Amino acid sequence: MWTLGRSAVMKGQDVLLLFKMASLQTQKEVNDEQDSPALERWSDRYSLRSLSDSLGISKSEVSNSIIRCRNSGLLTNDYQTSLPKVNRDELLNITEYALKYFFPVKPGALTRGIPTGFASPVLTQHLKSAGNQIIVWPDPQEKEKGQAVEPLYKTVAHAVKQDQTLYHYLALVDAIRLGGPRERAVAVKLLKAGMRI
């Protein structure tokens, strides 16, 4: 967790929530541009129940997380739709310059899991890992084996299975947290494009 101001303390689940909200924003923008009919009302995806189900976090924790994100200024409401809106520029800045210090991570023991960082689909075509082992978020149901890395929050493996855009975002976040200057630069560029900044 890290502190923003005197009273706002941000936690790993807050970062997860912010990237989920950013994913929803991006998906809605793409949907609107393609003039595709929505399978459900977009506002339903922002409900406490929907966010709780998709993130694997209790409704009360989602509610508390939303409050912290609003207090930090990273989450507001869109004037036109009244839907929650992430300050994507600031979220990218925090991701690029702060997350690796406040949420440090190092590869650990071999385990089954979901490929992340340089091993994720969003990055494998752009970068090759120098190591022999891929890195994964631990998940015993997965077939891939690699070195375990602790995700930003314990429910990340569940959350990314529900949302491919969120998976790409968080895998790029891990590349930023784990990589050297060149790798971070590539991941930041891809994250910026993916978040439509």
pLDDT digits over 131-163, tens only? Answer: 678 999 999 999 999 999 999 999 999 999 999
pLDDT > 90 fraction of the chain, expressed in percent and rounded: 73
Q: Is the pLDDT of residue 128 over 70?
A: no
List, in order of start, the domains of the chain with CATH numbers.
2-87 (1.10.10), 102-194 (no CATH)
Enter the pTM of the model.
Answer: 0.91
Q: Which long-range contacts (CB under 8 A, 24 or more apart) does 159-164 make?
A: 159/16, 159/20, 159/54, 159/55, 159/56, 160/114, 161/114, 162/53, 162/54, 163/20, 163/23, 163/54
